[in-house]
Amino acid sequence: MSSKVLSRRNVVLGGMAATSGRLALTKQSRARLTAAEAIERIQKMVGIPWRVKTVDKIVAGRPDMIVGGIATTMMATLNVLKHAAAAGKNLVITHETPFYMRQDETGDLADDATFRFKEKFIREHDLTVFHFHDHWHARRPDGIAVGMMRALGWAHNADQQDIRRFVFPGVPLLRLTKEIQSRLQVRTMRVVGDPKLPIHRALASWGYVSRMPGIPEFREKGVDVLIAGETREWELLEYVQDSIAKGDRKALILLGHVVSEEAGMKYCADWLRSFVPEVPIEFIPTPEPFWGPNERMV
């Protein structure tokens, strides 16, 4: 056999060995990736110092659990957890608490049947749930804001210095709300304001907006409409009604908390894939729970 043939054979065999080595390494690294290690990568890649006081932590499950797959979601409801378990996504990264309180304090629910059922489901299916809220918002740019901007198709409308601010060419409020409803598939959007109001500038306060900073955001000069997830009806909503009643040409759009942030957790799944290649990553939506009496029920 000629030296050239031997040489080619060595190259081929060497390539096969290298490929086998990479496959072995991939399998080995998959076996070694724990929930704690995946979270350490998030802490490193989010781009800001990790806070001492934060809700962002494992709230259920084991840090040493071997990760078979990752699910991102807006809210880890029981149905979302069932989907994750069935799909083999045992590390669930949720933006909102799975335990009905922002700080994940559950002492008052220790004997509650629903809480105990959910906790048991997580334990029996060996799931680990990571609450990822504060740092995803604090990231620059805000991960939720990026996802919402993308989902709405408003990248060209956004202020690049603050992607919660958008500019429009005097679009009537009604047309803008229909566009939002279509793109986000909102079932129970609520709107306050004149449907014919021309919208030139919008400000988004994704998720919950309280009386403060809700009032100054709504009052801001040049802002025609404030878009939010939810607010207390006896605080900001009452103020909005009084402001419009006195003659202010402004509006408020309420999408619902989950709807107003969910695209940010879909974007989170894309972001995670860039530095956690070992396991499959899936975004699991949290379906809007509300329905209206005029809807066709199946």
| Radius of gyration of the chain measured on its C-alpha atoms | 24
CATH of the domain spanning 35-139: 3.40.1390.30
Is the confidence at residue 296, as pLDDT, over 90?
A: no
**What does the pLDDT read at residue 291?**
86
**Over the chain, what is the mean pLDDT?**
91
Which residues are CB-neighbours of 139 under 8 A, at least 6 positions away? 46, 47, 48
**What does the pLDDT read at residue 241?**
98
Q: Is the peptide bond before 216 cis (omega within 30 degrees of 0)?
A: no
Residue 180: name the closest of 163, 160, 212, 202 by CA.
Answer: 202
CATH 3.40.1390.30, the chain: domain bounds: 35-139, 143-254
Fold of 143-254: 3.40.1390
The residue-averaged pLDDT of 267-287 equals 97
- Across 12-16, 74-78, 202-206, 285-289, least confident range: 12-16
**Whole-prediction pTM value?**
0.87
- Across 102-106, 128-132, 178-182, least confident range: 102-106
**What does the pLDDT read at residue 103?**
84
DSSP 8-state secondary structure symbol assigned to residue 107 = G
**What does the pLDDT read at residue 298?**
64
